């Protein structure tokens, strides 16, 4: 889908919701904790939000209907994917522009010429003199800058999502499936893996005998959702998955366990800041984990998502840590939109996904222009569980399995029964025992 069309369609629905609400840009921006100019850019199609959380909050403030929330998420996925392709294209340099005067550092790294990588329109670097070395130091500095810039672009692109391919026809004694790094342990069936070596992360194992399925292991996120058509096919995987393990079903639903006293904890974050808050405190999802998966094809062909399987990598006694509620006492909570919603009890000996009431079960179909969003609620009370998912896909005569985890690590959810619970009062300056806040 052309960039202007995807972004314009997304912005058009935002504007429609905003206009219907009767609220001004200033009022909405204040409630969303963003600048008025930023909100203007989103609604005019000049920019696409990097995260969906502020988009969903805006839609809820504007009283969007469930169907509109689903359509808004679909349009955001498409606009975000096209935006990602534009960024990747801008980072590439045509081979014919590399020139014949590049130094050894540039030739080895494949970086763009310094004049292009450092600053557009800057005068070309003076050629180094073989006898005097005049101009050598500036050229080396610019080359180093270009190399670092290229590495930074690659790192950003790699963090978007994860879906990688393994050579077809291979087998490792586990049906061609590979577990995520750090997931070596007890499986859902209660059997220990044969090898103690770290398994592959976010791996895919297509059963097709095609030989152009890519390297045996590629860094997680190498085929992000919305990658250019043909990129997924090169690795043998025509579908990508983006997992958001710290999504919230509602502002009041999420809790986290942390091995820190209340005096050392920061206030509850907004949803888009949850991942950073969790990392800063070494926290773990408490009682249940709400996972949002965006599944999208990498080309126009239809891909069938045959199912999701829950795999348990390890079970222990629940964590003896403090329990922190993300809701502010007295703040109203709204329910989430669940068009493809599933639940799983991690306490079960063999956890499996079951559709929430009113929801359909697998299989589902996806393509580049028709992504799907799945919402998973994983609950646990008696254990501290490491777990991950395996997504089975098929397209024509090809099929395979994608391992879905938390960027190479298993998801982790722990029971919280009997743990000291805390909440953060509105206008307060710290956490207090839950239930002690007096509401006016």
pLDDT tens-digit readout, 221-259? 333 333 333 334 445 799 999 999 998 877 667 899 999
Report the percent of the chain where pLDDT is more than 70: 60
Q: What percent of the chain has pLDDT over 90?
A: 36
Lowest mean pLDDT among 58-67, 104-113, 370-379: 104-113
Q: Is the distance from CB of 10 to CB of 48 less than 8 angstroms?
A: yes
Q: How far apart are CA 20 and CA 64, in angstroms?
A: 9
45-49, 198-202, 240-244, 397-401: the lowest-pLDDT one: 198-202
Which pLDDT band holds residue 386 (cuts at 50, 70, 90)? very high
| Region 183-198 average pLDDT | 32
> Does the pLDDT of residue 129 top 50, yes or no?
no
pLDDT at 119 over 80: no
Note the pLDDT of residue 263.
94
When computed from its CA atoms, the radius of gyration of the chain, rounded to whole angstroms, is: 24
DSSP characters for 212-243? -S--S---TTSS-TTPPTTHHHHTT--EEEEE
Q: What angle do CA 82, 53, 370 make, to 5 degrees?
A: 40
The pair of three-digit structure tokens given for residue 192, joined into one six-digit string: 């220990």
pLDDT tier, 216 (very low <50, low <70, confident <90, very high otherwise): very low
Give the confidence band of 66 by pLDDT, cuts at 50, 70, 90: confident
The residue with greater pLDDT, 1 or 376, is 376
Question: What's the rounded Cα separation, in Å, for the pair 229 and 224?
Answer: 11
- Is the pLDDT reported for residue 22 higher than 70? yes
CB 15 within 8 A of CB 62: no
The mean pLDDT of the chain is: 71
Query: Once rounded to an integer, what is the mean pLDDT over residues 340-364?
Result: 93
Burial class from Cβ neighbours inside 10 Å (0-12, 13-18, 19+) for residue 330 reads exposed
Q: Which of 13-27, 77-91, 123-137, 330-344 shows the lowest per-residue confidence on average (mean pLDDT)?
A: 123-137
Q: pLDDT band at 272, cuts 50/70/90?
A: confident
Confidence band for 5, pLDDT divided at 50, 70 and 90: confident
Please name each of the domains of the chain with its CATH number.
3-90 (1.10.260.40), 231-433 (no CATH)
- What is the reported pTM? 0.54
Q: Could you report the per-residue pLDDT of 150-181, keeping only the tens digit for each? A: 544 444 344 433 333 333 333 333 333 333 33
pLDDT band at 189 (very low <50, low <70, confident <90, very high): very low
**What is the model's pLDDT at position 69?**
84
Q: Would you place residue 85 in the very low, low, confident or very high pLDDT band (cuts 50, 70, 90)?
A: low
Residues 6+ apart with CB under 8 A from 420: 322, 323, 433
- 16-25, 81-90, 300-309, range with the lowest pLDDT: 81-90
pLDDT single digits (tens) 308-340: 999 999 999 999 999 999 876 555 454 554 568
pLDDT of residue 79: 87
Q: Identify whether the C-beta of residue 202 lies closer than 8 Å to the C-beta of residue 220.
A: yes
**Cβ–Cβ < 8 Å for 193, 124:** no
How many Å apart are CA 136 and CA 128, to the nearest integer?
A: 5
Rounded Cα distance between 149 and 113, Å, is 12
């Amino acid at each position: 889908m052309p960039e202007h069309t995807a972004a314009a369609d997304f912005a058009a629905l935002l504007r429609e919701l905003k206009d219907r609400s009767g609220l001004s840009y200033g009022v909405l921006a204040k409630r969303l904790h963003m600048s008025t100019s930023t909100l203007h850019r989103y609604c005019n199609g000049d920019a696409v939000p990097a995260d969906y959380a502020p988009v969903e909050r805006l839609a809820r403030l504007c009283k969007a209907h469930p169907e509109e929330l689903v359509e808004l998420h679909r349009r955001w996925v498409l606009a975000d994917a096209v935006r990602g392709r534009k960024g990747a294209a801008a980072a590439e340099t045509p081979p014919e522009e590399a020139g014949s005067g590049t130094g050894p550092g540039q030739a080895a790294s494949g970086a763009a010429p310094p004049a292009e990588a450092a600053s557009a329109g800057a005068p070309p670097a003076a050629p180094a003199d073989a006898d005097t070395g005049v101009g050598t130091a500036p050229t080396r500095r610019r080359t180093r800058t270009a190399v670092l810039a290229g590495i930074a672009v690659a790192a950003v692109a790699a963090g978007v999502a994860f879906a990688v391919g393994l050579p077809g026809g291979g087998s490792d004694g586990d049906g061609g499936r590979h577990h995520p790094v750090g997931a070596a342990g007890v499986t859902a069936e209660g059997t220990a893996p044969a090898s103690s070596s770290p398994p592959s992360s976010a791996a895919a194992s297509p059963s097709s005998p095609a030989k152009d399925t890519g390297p045996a292991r590629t860094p997680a996120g190498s085929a992000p959702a919305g990658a250019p058509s043909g990129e997924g096919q090169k690795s043998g995987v025509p579908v990508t998955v983006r997992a958001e393990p710290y999504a919230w079903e509602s502002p009041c639903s999420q809790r986290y366990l942390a091995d820190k006293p209340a005096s050392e904890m920061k206030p509850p974050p907004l949803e888009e800041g949850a991942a950073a808050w969790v990392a800063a405190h070494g926290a773990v999802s408490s009682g249940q984990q709400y996972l949002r998966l965006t599944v999208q094809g990498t080309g126009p062909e239809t891909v069938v998502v045959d199912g999701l399987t829950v795999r348990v990598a390890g079970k222990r006694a629940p964590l003896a840590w403090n329990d922190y509620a993300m809701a502010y006492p007295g703040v109203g909570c709204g329910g989430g939109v669940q068009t493809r919603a599933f639940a799983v009890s991690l306490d079960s000996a063999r956890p499996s996904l079951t559709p929430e009431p009113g929801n359909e079960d697998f299989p589902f179909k996806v393509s580049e222009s028709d992504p799907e969003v799945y919402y998973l609620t994983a609950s646990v009370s008696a254990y501290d569980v490491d777990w991950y998912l395996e997504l089975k896909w098929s397209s024509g005569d090809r099929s395979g399995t994608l391992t879905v985890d938390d960027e190479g690590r298993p998801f982790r959810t722990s029971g919280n029964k009997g743990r000291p619970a805390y909440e953060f009062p509105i206008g307060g300056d710290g956490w207090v025992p839950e239930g002690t806040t007096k509401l006016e």
